[in-house]
Structure 1
Amino acid sequence: MTDTSLNLAASQILNALANNELRPVVRTFFDQATFTASHVVHDPSTKSAAIIDSVLDYDPASGRTSFSSAQNIVSYVKENDLHIEWQLETHAHADHLSAAPWLQEQLGGELGIGAQIITVQEVFGKIFNADTRFARDGSQFDKLFHDGNQFRIGNLNVTVLHVPGHTPADMAFVIGDAAFIGDTLFMPDYGTARADFPGGNATTLFRSIRRLLSLPGKTRVFLCHDYKAEGRDQFAWETTIEAERAHNIHVHDGITEENFVKMRTNRDATLNLPTLIMPSVQVNIRGGHMPEPDDNGTSYIKIPVNKL
């Protein structure tokens, strides 16, 4: 059976590798508080750009938000005279809040995420007992992407791949010769993403990862997180498909689906929930907006007791 979407992405990558003008410039901003890598990717010929997986600063003790991380992105965009066409989310993150609405106010750009965000909204809408003001139809986003969708950022071709498993809605954005893969893979020495959140599935994750690893070996791979594997002193967020295939400690070539699922399931059972999962999910399923305010005008984050 032919994987048409994957073939489109692979052809795009090979064209970009052969023509340097079709390769994007990528600048990464790493937020050490949440171990998140946000990326600004742009077409050097037109200055058209996208922001991927932005971070809103949030203090869980006080419930206060701030914008220093996002402001660094704004400053870079303005200093380089970039035109933001897209604010892209690889998925509804459980470890940091999205700054996309604030960045839209500052810089513009359409907000896009995978179409299966609707499934995530249904699941977590029930977990957090969201009231009827919370729409579970993806309408908080400007664009819902499906597998194989294509668009352009300036002269750069973009192909979207659905890579579920960590969540049902995970998408990889292949831009020129670069793949922004969210929480599927980490650096080769750290492994792979967890699959135990509601809607996650280790078998599905393995198949999504193997799909990504079918891309050309020279594909540049940009990650959403890094936690510094033991023995490594520096944070890192860029690798290649060939490096992941050869060296990823969880899913290198030769690892079977059965062995991966067993490893991932056992490992996930030992992990604590992310520190910011409660605010992050409630905000990110709303496209980065806070929950609907109560009648006193204040928004509240719910914490379900003994539920997760």
Structure 2
Amino acid sequence: MNMSARPHVEAFFDKRTFSIQYVVSDPATGACAIIDPVLDFEEKSGATGTFNADRILQYVTAENLKVEWILDTHPHADHFSAADYLHSQTGAPCAIGSHVVEVQSLWKDLYNWQGFVPDGSQWHKLFQTGETFRIGNLNASVMFSPGHTLASVTYVVGDAAFIHDTLFMPDSGTARTDFPGGSADQLWHSIQDILALPGETRLFVGHDYQPNGRAPMWESTVSEQKASNSHLSRCHSKDEFIAFRQARDKTLPMPKLMLPSLQINLNAGRLPEPESNGARYLKIPLNALGNAIWE
């Protein structure tokens, strides 16, 4: 990693889903990538909106940036992806890690998608593990970071790493692993890979749930995570971590937008096609996820 390459990182917090979206840009050229953008969804009314995505576009215009990539770290289970909308507005290609095809195959059966092709062709680019690309003059690379999902990746851009649902801020610990295809063992190894980056590497998380009501936070360093992550500090081995993580996961309810979100996000952020009356419909499988935790 060239630690002298320091991109500018602008964060956009969505308080409805506790998500953080990013614009990472090359100060020398104005080229940028948008990472994990949110398409707004009001679940009680079924309304969709582009408030978050338009806020990002306004920033891109104001800073005279050129969007070269629209990147998702994984198929999100708690918000819709705005990747397809942002592609329509900027022309930039949408990309995700190549293991998304495994998640597509898993959920195709759960949704009983008859005509859905689980080959990743819904994106313009599928990144392989270790693949490199550029954002302007900045070198970027892709780390495979499974555990939270089968398809999770970390994007490393200069001295910044976008780790989404692996580690949270140090006071919030680590991500859950109980979704279909998740693995506490794999998450442990993904975390070790991230913590093997240089200590001054800036780590940018994908969610912050504001423990004890504090203000939202999203940036730490490898050194800070090693010193004070609240989950890792109590687990001194892989086995201890797996036992802790699995026990904690058994107490957590599913995200309220999981079933609506994945049918959008496994199609690269595209909404369902309109039916004969012009309306679009979500499809919710009943009792498909086993014994759910009721809130």
Choose from 61, 64, 67 the match for 1:78: 61
The TM-score, its normalising length taken from structure 2, stands at 0.95
Choose from 270, 282, 288 the match for 1:289: 270
Answer yes or no: is the 8 Å Cα contact 2:235–2:241 preserved in 1.
no
Q: Mean alpha-carbon deviation: is it higher for 43-52 or for 255-264? A: 255-264
Answer yes or no: is the 8 Å Cα contact 1:161–1:171 preserved in 2.
yes
- The equivalent of 1:94 in structure 2 is 77
Choose from 132, 141, 154 the match for 1:159: 141
Q: Distance in 2 between matches of 1:268 and 1:45?
A: 44
Task: Give the partner amino acid of 1:108.
Answer: G
Q: Distance in 1 between matches of 2:52 and 2:127?
A: 26
- Where 2:185 maps in the other structure, the secondary structure is helix
Q: Distance in 2 between matches of 1:246 and 1:108?
A: 42
- The equivalent of 1:194 in structure 2 is 176
Q: Distance in 2 between matches of 1:234 and 1:47?
A: 30
Q: Distance in 2 between matches of 1:290 and 1:67?
A: 13
Answer yes or no: is the 8 Å Cα contact 1:174–1:180 preserved in 2.
yes
Per-residue deviation at 1:254? 6.1
Task: Give the partner amino acid of 1:83.
Answer: K
Are 1:144 and 2:126 counterparts?
A: yes
1:151-230, aligned counterparts within 5 Å? 151-230=133-212
- Where 1:152 maps in the other structure, the secondary structure is strand
Q: Distance in 2 between matches of 1:32 and 1:161?
A: 28
Q: Distance in 2 between matches of 1:292 and 1:189?
A: 42
Per-residue deviation at 1:305? 1.1
- The equivalent of 2:36 in structure 1 is 53
- Where 1:56 maps in the other structure, the secondary structure is strand
Q: Distance in 2 between matches of 1:244 and 1:152?
A: 27
1:217-256, aligned counterparts within 5 Å? 217-230=199-212, 233-252=214-233, 255-256=236-237
Taking only the aligned residue pairs, the percentage that are identical comes to 48
- What CA RMSD, in Å, does the superposition of the two structures yield over aligned residues? 1.2
- The equivalent of 1:266 in structure 2 is 247
Task: Give the partner amino acid of 1:190.
Answer: S
Q: Distance in 1 between matches of 2:56 and 2:76?
A: 19
Per-residue deviation at 1:299? 2.3
Answer yes or no: is the 8 Å Cα contact 1:218–1:242 preserved in 2.
yes
Per-residue deviation at 1:179? 0.1
Q: Distance in 2 between matches of 1:291 and 1:123?
A: 19
Give per-residue Cα distances to partners, 1:92-120, cap 9 Å, x unaligned.
00000011111112222110001010000
Answer yes or no: is the 8 Å Cα contact 1:245–1:253 preserved in 2.
no
Are 1:25 and 2:8 counterparts?
A: yes
Aligned residues: 289
- The equivalent of 1:36 in structure 2 is 19
Q: For structure 2, which runs of at least 5 residues remain unmatched after alignment? A: 290-295
1:92-131, aligned counterparts within 5 Å? 92-131=75-114
Q: For structure 1, which runs of at least 5 residues remain unmatched after alignment? A: 1-11
Per-residue deviation at 1:295? 3.7
Give per-residue Cα distances to partners, 1:112-144, cap 9 Å, x unaligned.
001010000011111111121x22100100110
Answer yes or no: is the 8 Å Cα contact 2:167–2:191 preserved in 1.
yes
Per-residue deviation at 1:291? 2.5
Answer yes or no: is the 8 Å Cα contact 1:246–1:253 preserved in 2.
no
- Where 1:159 maps in the other structure, the secondary structure is strand
Q: Distance in 1 between matches of 2:15 and 2:58?
A: 19
Q: Distance in 2 between matches of 1:94 and 1:255?
A: 29
- The equivalent of 1:7 in structure 2 is none
Task: Give the partner amino acid of 1:217.
Answer: G
